[in-house]
Structure 1
Amino acid sequence: MSATFQVNVRLVELRVIVRDAQGKAIGTLRKEDFHLFDDGKPQVITEFRVAKPGFEVAREQQTSGSSSAATGATTMPDIPERYVAYVFDDVHLELSDLLRVREAAEKNLATLQPTDRAAMFTTSGQNNVNFTDDRGRLHDALLRLLPHPIGSSVGTECPKMTYYMADLIQNKNDPQALDAVTSDALACAFNNDTRMRAAAQALAQSAAAQGLLSGDAETHLALSSLKAVLRQVSAVPGQRAVILISPGFITPQQQYDVDNIIDHALHANITISALDARGLYALIPGGDASTPSRLSPSSLAADSLEAQYQLNSASADADVMAVLADGTGGSFFQNSNALEVGFRRIASAPEYYYLLGFSPQNLKLNGRFHNLKVTLSATTPFSVQARRGYFAPKQHPLPDQQARQEIEDAIFSQEELHELPVDLHTQFFKPNDTEAKLTVLAHVDVKQLHFQKASGRNNSDLTIVSAIFDRNGNYVTGIEKILQLHLKDETLAYRMGSGLSVKSNFDVKPGGYLVRLVVRDAQGQIAAENGAVQIP
């Protein structure tokens, strides 16, 4: 499967999902139905493919094994195609919201495909589970989910203080916000005794200072945790998505961190989607039954102003989720209590998606961000989901650097490339019950290699990299070999018939493994193959 997005000087590729009004992915469109723009300029779509997730299967016929003990046929591990990291913002989530999203997430986990791997992370850093196909571990982690705010809470009861209001008072010097909180303090702490207004204002300012400190700390922790998740997700091969489940939070002094997260996700081909855990947000004017009534006209006016601030705060809290989703090509589900539908829409693999590619003309190597836009020809109720852009390379890399980067990118992708004639085979031998010898065999068809004739020899260089991942996509080990061919004519003629085989041997434990083989020649042609082996 192709990576969700990649860019080099010659080709820009991106993954596009088209959904109907009910949120169902559409797979019947053709290349001419799409229009692609780079910084507003129309581009010629040179590559187009309709893809359907879930088609990768292990190739059992390519694997042979032997053991000191007789073994029967073994089930090959499915090759993971997609990695979904669920990030629960337990720093900001309240218990009532957490219980509802936990139930919806449980149902969504049950819909994951055999080729999916899921991980569960929290912004507090507690109860994290790395990528796995063990649904039981994920279920247990979900049951342990609880709110973990910093300290007691960002908000205070008297006066009521939220991070949003604290930011208005402390950072933006908003006199109206200070007056609203002062009126609240006067009512809740001084029984609306106007002689105590100065004391009420001091109480409001103190609460704002404390609220800002707590809010800054919680936002910093949430964003830092999200960065850490991205670093971890970047290390697995294949299609990668992060799902943020949160009531939202404001980022008054952290916009640089938000931009940095988006840039990291774009460079690493990771989409971030978000689900607003509050569901359909409803504000009760004057508070709920637990809120003391206020009888004075000034207090009633303060209630009205406070209600407006609460609405503004609720909207502002959602902004960061919308920005992260829009900036990385993800989806944002909000203003609905149908959380199970929300999880299905943002976390489940679409039934179809499209891979579009184009070659940018006269691309300047300045590292600048290019805005991409994908539209459809016909006027339809369909929605288009795609990344918002890409970064141009900063410079032409040195040949060795480019070769190294191309090999690394191929190793941590699931795309199969066939620019070189290479076949992948695996063998294993078990000397005992706890150890195994795994051999990765790369067979190269010499007839289709490019040779340069010099000094009576036929010369060609091949870089062969074999990488081993566990069944959940975690990198285990790898071996790189440089094959320098300097063949006489008669040797080349012989090799034309038999080809070349290169072995890489690994000491492993019994279990399921994914094998990635990448071969690159000196001209930049690449072969990349996927394999799987189950060692009983």
Structure 2
Amino acid sequence: MIILFFDLTSMQPDEMDRAAKAAENYVSKQMQPADLVSVVSLGSELLVNQDFTSDHDLLQKTLHAFNTGAGQGFEEGAAGATEGTPDTGQAFTPDDTEYNIFNTDRRLEALRSIGEQLSRVDQKKSLIYFSSGMNRTGVENQSELRAAVNAAVRANLSIYTLDIRGLQAMVPGGEAQSASLRGTSAYSGRATLNQYNANFSNQETLVTLAGDTGGRAFLDSNDFSKIFRGVQEDTSTYYVLGYHSSNPARDGRYRHIAVQINRPGLKLEYRRGYYAPADFQHATRDDRERQLEEELSSELPSTDLPVYLSTGYFRLSDNKFFVPLSVVVPGSAIPFTRNGEQDKATLDVIGVVLDESKQAVSRVRDTVKLALNTSAEVQRKNVQYDAGLLLPPGKYHLKLVVRENQSGQMGSFETDLVIPDMKTTPLKMSSVVLASQIQPSNRKGDNPLVRDGSELIPNVTHVFSSGQHLYFYYEVYDPARDTNSNSTAGNGPAGKAAGNGPSPNTQATNSKAPGNKAAIHVLTNVAFFHGKTKAYETPLVEAKEINVPNRHASVFQLDVPLTELKPGFYTCQINVIDDASGHFLFPRLALLVRQ
């Protein structure tokens, strides 16, 4: 497998011509039937011009398409000194050192990216890097150089560098196409020395890239076919040696390899070392964050850590909805460590919401710290994390990843999220939230589940005990006004209570607003079905006014005791009737009641 990598940011038009022609000659004259060749270029962006193929025609077409007149404008800038530079008549010579650092980092990042993408292919791979040199500025580019080399070594990728400038002659007084040199350097020999130093600096990075990855550097030669022969010779026949390391440490450190033979006079070329695998405890902070991002973008979900998630939606304005997220992890799946008098654990949570065009529109990132006097109680319960998002109406895909930071196990949960556009909906209603807990809260914000200093904690699993309370929370928006609002709950067929159990408590307003000649008239209750049999139905609740004016919402929070329900599976039907407009909705939810 051979990658032809053209660094268009460093080559002049004539050098681009030479590089393309050298590659075309290889494809037409030297390419073997077993060779798989890919063409990659770096201009304004990193592009895969041609994926791996053995089709000569496709490769020739791709190489011939390089536009030599479209220079990318990333050549080396001046360093600010005027001595020994061409006198172009400019008032001053700009210092482009910072731009040079950026350009070099950009090229090294491209090499690192290629290495990371090829790491999934186990066999030996070769990359031929066409460029006009790569200049480093002190130690500024050292970290990117090491990252590029490390990525290539991990991917078993050898880099073969080619200085496409070929054999160069250093003219003491400067080239004829350049202006006369400033200062005395042309007469003291300093100008020629500076040219050699600059050329060496450009080629030194190419030699480093090749030597540290098991490749070779081809410099100062106009015979560009040598590099292709060298790659074919190195990959046509080679030995694969395997062994088990006696060092069991998974610390991610670099380990050197030495290979010796008992035949004198032979030169060995082999990989000089490798990076040991790193477990979660030896991973750096950046490595851990990158692990979360990679899992978030992975097509295959992690299931080592069980994760459950529920969502909903509540209207804040016509084009703004609050989406509560509730994430549950079983306490038995979280390892706690004893620290002082407390058991502690941490969970990392990361999530992303994608729209229909696969663009990220919202993200969640948080670290949950758990500190308990004893973890025995948590082992029998669940750990719940609640968050919220603000989204417009639309269809979305939500993926959330949770990692516990003791062993590094991860779990993920994906779901589609549909937020309806309520502008054309006859009866505008939020999602229904089931809960079994209400706790004090000082939170301030847009969360509708936080009201009057209390927060409703959603029940993600919809599993309840018979001794608990069952809370239903939902909202009706913009209900129609009833010009004849003299009816009361319990009058007529719609207001008759069904079932023999105790009446549920409700926070919906049941009295008519004084002085309001056109009150609303919304009726609601909940029916419980066990199979095809109606097991219980709550009395009817009536709302005659909007009790959240800033959102034009009538809020219903029903407290249904579960003592009247036998253990088992139930389907709950929430009946909502806008009596003034004649519209109705009957959403259904499933729940389990345990003893």
Give the alignment's TM-score, normalised by structure 2.
0.42
Higher helix share: 1
Larger Rg: 2
